[in-house]
């Protein structure tokens, strides 16, 4: 199998490349990105071809690579809420426009597409568990720019679905629910909101800074270990039944409030020598979202996936509990 992984130098892309190079010696990977630091340890492997392409600019070059592969994973996107509110047009240009070109190239050349949707498409849906085929996508008013990411992804989901019906595009949409693990984000970035929450709080601990609970930290997420995420992607790749389907890929048993996440991380941090001088300085404080992000931020108060479809169709069930996931991630950053 020849895979084209666009955004291969990112969090999910780097783990996907790593897994394939270790476990499927007969698959060929073309890794496209503008940064390859997270896959530096894989460079030089025969199975891996690395190509630097800015997908905002070099769309024709990218199309040539789509033409040459069997399966495309378009993983390049902005996936950080601070940028949704600070630079929404950049999110639209990359997450929607640039990815739309890849989708169209897959349609034109008859390639299989495995596309990352997101748990964010459900937005503020009130269902106790989000279901891929019945839950509504609920976003806020236009002035709440946070939703530009959710809307960009939702629109692509709809476009891909329509190409499937009209042109027979072979596709699978997967919706990660807060995947976490080694190489998630940059621990040295000390900007508030510079990283997704788990790395943000670890960075706060590393730098002896206050942990900020946005609007009290009562929001709930279901954190999912990256290894469980990757095993779902491999099941999708190897399955004959994943075509035309949307799958939530999350761990409903790892439901946790942001407040509890902060408490857990502070307890776990005690074990690392590298943190002993800073962890004692960290306080947990509450911050209004207008101050932390912007007035155009709005939050999802509870986000829990139904994973019945992935369990039934893919025979996939997440294995890693919250504690082990946080330990593994902290070991990577702090040992």
User: Looking at beta carbons, which pairs linking 33-41 to residues 24 or more positions away fall under 8 Å?
Assistant: 33/6, 33/7, 33/8, 33/9, 33/76, 34/9, 35/9, 36/8, 36/9, 37/9, 38/9, 38/10, 38/11, 38/13, 38/14, 38/183, 39/8, 39/9, 39/13, 39/14
Nearer to ligand UGA, 91 or 314 (CB): 91
Bridging pattern class, strands 71-74 and 112-116: parallel
Residue 147 interacting with ligand NAD (CB under 6 A): no
Q: Which stretch binds ligand NAD (CB under 6 A): 175-183, 200-208, 257-265, 327-335?
A: 175-183
What's the closest the beta carbon of residue 59 comes to ligand NAD, in angstroms? Answer: 10
Least gap, CB of 66 to ligand UGA (angstroms): 24
Helix, strand, coil tally for the chain in percent (to 5) = 45, 20, 40
Asked if 258 touches ligand UGA (CB under 6 A), the answer is yes
Q: Is 296 in the site for ligand UGA (CB under 6 A)?
A: no
> How far does the chain reach from its first CA to its final CA, in angstroms?
36
75 binds ligand NAD (CB under 6 A): yes
- Is there binding between residue 136 and ligand NAD (CB under 6 A)? no
Binding mask 222-261 for ligand NAD (x = CB under 6 A): ----------------------------------------
- Cα 232 from Cα 236, distance rounded (Å): 6
What is the DSSP code (8-state) at residue 96? I
* Residue whose CB is less far from ligand UGA, 62 or 197: 197
Residue 220 CB, shortest distance to ligand UGA, in Å, is 9
User: Is 306 an interacting residue with respect to ligand UGA (CB under 6 A)?
Assistant: no
Separation CA 97–CA 112 (nearest Å): 19
What's the rounded Cα separation, in Å, for the pair 124 and 301?
7
Judged by CB under 6 A, the chain residues 95 through 134 that form the site for ligand NAD are: 116, 118
Instruction: State which of residues 7, 88, 164, 176 lies at the interface with ligand UGA (CB under 6 A).
Output: 176
Burial class (CB in 10 A: 0-12, 13-18, 19+), 60: exposed
User: What is the nearest approach in angstroms of ligand NAD to the Cβ of residue 120?
Assistant: 7
Residue 157 binding result from ligand NAD, ligand UGA, none, given CB thresholds of 5 to 8 Å by partner type: none
171/103 Cα distance (integer angstroms): 10
CA distances from 49 to 5, 10, 21, 71, 269 (A): 10, 16, 11, 15, 38
Q: Which of 123, 217, 229, 318 is close enough to bind ligand UGA by CB under 6 A?
A: 217
**Residue 33 binding ligand NAD, by CB under 6 A:** yes
Closest approach, Cβ 176 to ligand UGA, in A, equals 5
Print the binding letters for residues 191-210 with ligand NAD: x by CB under 6 A, - otherwise: --------------------
Nearer residue to ligand NAD within complex by CB, 58 or 131:
58
Q: How many residues bind ligand UGA (CB under 6 A)?
A: 21
DSSP string, 10-74: SHHHHHHHHHHHHH-TT-EEEEEES--GGGGGGTT-TTEEEEE--TTT-HHHHHHHHHH-SEEEE
Residue 35 binds which of ligand NAD, ligand UGA, none (CB < 5-8 A, kind-dependent): ligand NAD
- Which residues bind to ligand UGA, rule: CB under 6 A? 79, 81, 118-120, 149, 176-178, 193, 196-197, 200, 212-214, 217, 219, 221, 258, 299
């Amino acid at each position: 199998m020849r895979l084209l992984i666009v955004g291969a130098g990112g969090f999910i892309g780097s783990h996907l490349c790593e897994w394939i190079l270790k476990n499927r010696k007969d698959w060929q990977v073309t890794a496209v990105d503008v940064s390859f630091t997270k896959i530096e340890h894989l460079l030089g492997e025969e199975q891996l071809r690395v190509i630097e392409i800015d997908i905002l600019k070099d769309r024709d070059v990218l199309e040539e690579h789509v033409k040459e592969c069997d399966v495309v994973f378009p993983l390049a996107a902005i996936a950080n809420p601070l940028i949704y509110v600070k630079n929404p047009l950049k999110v639209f240009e990359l997450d929607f426009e640039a990815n739309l070109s890849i989708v169209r190239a897959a349609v034109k050349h008859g390639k299989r597409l495995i596309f990352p949707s997101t748990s964010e498409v459900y937005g503020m849906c009130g269902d106790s568990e989000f279901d891929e085929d019945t839950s509504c996508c609920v976003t806020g008013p236009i002035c709440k720019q946070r939703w530009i990411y959710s809307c960009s992804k939702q629109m692509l989901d709809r476009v891909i679905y329509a190409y499937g019906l009209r042109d027979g595009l072979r596709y699978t949409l997967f919706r990660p629910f807060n995947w976490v693990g080694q190489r998630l984000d940059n621990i040295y970035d000390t900007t508030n909101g510079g990283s997704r929450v788990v790395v943000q709080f670890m960075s706060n601990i590393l730098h002896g800074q206050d942990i900020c609970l946005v609007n009290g930290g009562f929001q709930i997420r279901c954190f999912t270990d990256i290894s469980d995420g990757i095993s779902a992607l491999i099941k999708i790749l190897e399955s004959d039944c994943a075509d035309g389907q949307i799958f939530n890929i999350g761990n409903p048993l790892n439901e946790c409030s942001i407040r509890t996440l902060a408490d857990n991380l502070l307890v776990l941090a005690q074990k690392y020598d590298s943190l002993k001088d800073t962890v004692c300085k960290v306080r947990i404080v509450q911050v209004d979202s207008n101050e932390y992000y912007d007035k155009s931020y709005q939050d999802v108060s509870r986000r829990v996936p139904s994973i019945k479809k992935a369990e039934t169709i893919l025979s996939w069930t997440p294995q890693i509990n919250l504690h082990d996931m946080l330990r593994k991630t902290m070991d990577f950053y702090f040992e």
